[in-house]
């Protein structure tokens, strides 16, 4: 870790005495000229997990609970060469905006965080975060939504409909819709995502068809249990796809090797990674991010 220290008192003082500074900073922010970095790829650091109550990274159940530490790690990651994007909820993105960390970055607002981790209503993933109007008003670039499809949970239908409306609303404003689909099932009462090749292919075809236009839709996809199956997964759509990082891996080398293989496919346009880069087992955030960037 670097010696960067986030001054929480200053952030709280601004929020208390001059909250309108958030909108002022957003209006003055330098915007990216493209979704893609110099290498023709999108490299996004993600931190929208806390809003779902998902704070675990590796063995630490509350790793993401300390906001100052999370912001410090985010700032280090966003300062690395060729990291050109960030994904988060309003509380995190507004802190980063006040810290000056969003200059020139592709900013993706997280939209549906209502399916709280471990709850009985997890599949009923309400849109409790950004909406298309606010993303546009802040001068941000995209909205991201999670779409978990449980064939045995009727609440899935409402989530599909809500995601479809969000895709349409973003497209009508010329904003990217980043859709993260899964086929999911309850196992011992908890939602588990099916990462088999067939399941991920099915999720891709459903997500690609959402909304009144797919012109601005990108897919955020996991790497399947069988890495070789990713060729079939990405052949299921012509939409640009970014690969998600997920949990901190037990074997980081294997995870990076898998990314490297999949990024050779024509629709694979980058990475969206959070915990595995922000909370690497050796604590070296800059090193983990640089290694991921090197794959691009």
Q: Does the residue 77 lie in any domain?
A: yes
Residues found in the chain: 296
The CA distance from 110 to 128, in Å, is: 9
Q: Name the nearest CA neighbour of 73 among 52, 54, 88, 90.
A: 88
**pLDDT in tens for each of the 296 residues of the chain?**
556 788 999 999 999 999 999 999 999 999 998 888 878 899 999 999 999 999 998 888 999 999 999 999 999 999 998 899 999 999 999 999 999 999 999 999 999 999 999 999 999 999 999 999 999 999 999 999 999 999 999 999 999 999 999 999 999 999 999 999 999 999 998 999 999 999 999 999 999 999 999 999 999 999 998 889 999 999 999 999 999 986 766 677 888 888 899 999 999 999 999 999 999 989 999 999 999 998 88
Q: Does the residue 61 lie in any domain?
A: yes
Residue 255's pLDDT is what? 83
* Residue 186 β-bridge partners: 191
Give the count of domains, the chain. 1
Q: For residue 77, what is the domain's CATH number? A: 3.20.20.70
Give the range of the structural domain holding residue 278, as residue numbers without chain letter. 8-21+36-294
Q: Does the residue 3 lie in any domain?
A: no
Other Cβ atoms less than 10 A from the Cβ of 165: the count is 16
Residue 2's pLDDT is what? 55
Q: Does the residue 127 lie in any domain?
A: yes
Residue 246's pLDDT is what? 67
Residue 37's pLDDT is what? 82
Burial, 113: exposed, middle or buried (Cβ in 10 Å; 0-12, 13-18, 19+)? Answer: buried
Q: Name the nearest CA neighbour of 123 among 158, 88, 87, 164.
A: 158
- Using only C-alpha atoms, the chain has a radius of gyration, in whole angstroms, of 18
Q: Does the residue 82 lie in any domain?
A: yes
Q: Does the residue 102 lie in any domain?
A: yes
CA 23 vs. chain centroid, Å, equals 22
Q: Does the residue 119 lie in any domain?
A: yes
The CA distance from 122 to 291, in Å, is: 34
Residue 170 φ/ψ, nearest 5 degrees: -65, -45
Residues 208 and 183 sit within 8 Å (Cβ to Cβ): no
Q: Does the residue 148 lie in any domain?
A: yes
pTM: 0.95
Other Cβ atoms less than 10 A from the Cβ of 204: the count is 22
């Amino acid at each position: 870790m670097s010696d960067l220290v986030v001054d929480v008192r200053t952030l709280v003082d601004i929020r208390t005495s001059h909250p309108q500074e958030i909108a002022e900073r957003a209006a003055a922010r330098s915007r990216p000229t493209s979704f893609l970095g110099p290498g023709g790829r999108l490299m996004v650091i993600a931190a929208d997990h806390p809003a779902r109550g998902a704070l675990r990274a590796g063995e630490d159940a509350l790793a993401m609970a300390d906001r100052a530490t999370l912001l410090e790690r985010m700032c280090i990651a966003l300062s690395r060469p060729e990291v050109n994007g960030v994904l988060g909820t309003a509380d995190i993105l507004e802190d980063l905006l006040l810290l000056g960390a969003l200059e020139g970055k592709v900013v993706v607002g997280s939209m549906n965080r209502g399916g709280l981790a471990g709850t009985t209503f997890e599949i009923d993933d309400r849109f409790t975060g950004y909406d298309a109007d606010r993303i546009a008003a802040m001068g941000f670039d995209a909205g991201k939504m999670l779409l978990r499809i449980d064939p045995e949970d009727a609440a899935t239908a409402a989530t599909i409909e809500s995601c479809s409306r969000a895709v349409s609303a973003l497209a009508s404003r010329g904003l990217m819709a980043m859709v993260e689909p899964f086929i999911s099932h309850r196992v011992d009462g908890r939602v588990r995502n099916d990462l088999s090749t067939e399941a991920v292919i099915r999720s891709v075809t459903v997500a690609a068809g959402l909304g009144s236009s797919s012109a601005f839709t990108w897919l955020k996809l996991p790497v399947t249990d069988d890495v070789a199956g990713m060729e079939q997964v990405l052949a299921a759509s012509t939409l640009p796809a970014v690969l998600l990082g997920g949990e901190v891996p037990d074997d980081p080398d294997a995870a990076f090797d898998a990314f490297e293989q999949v990024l050779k496919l024509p629709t694979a346009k980058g990475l969206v990674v959070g915990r595995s880069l922000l909370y690497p087992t050796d604590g070296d955030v800059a090193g983990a991010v640089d290694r991921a960037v090197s794959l691009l």
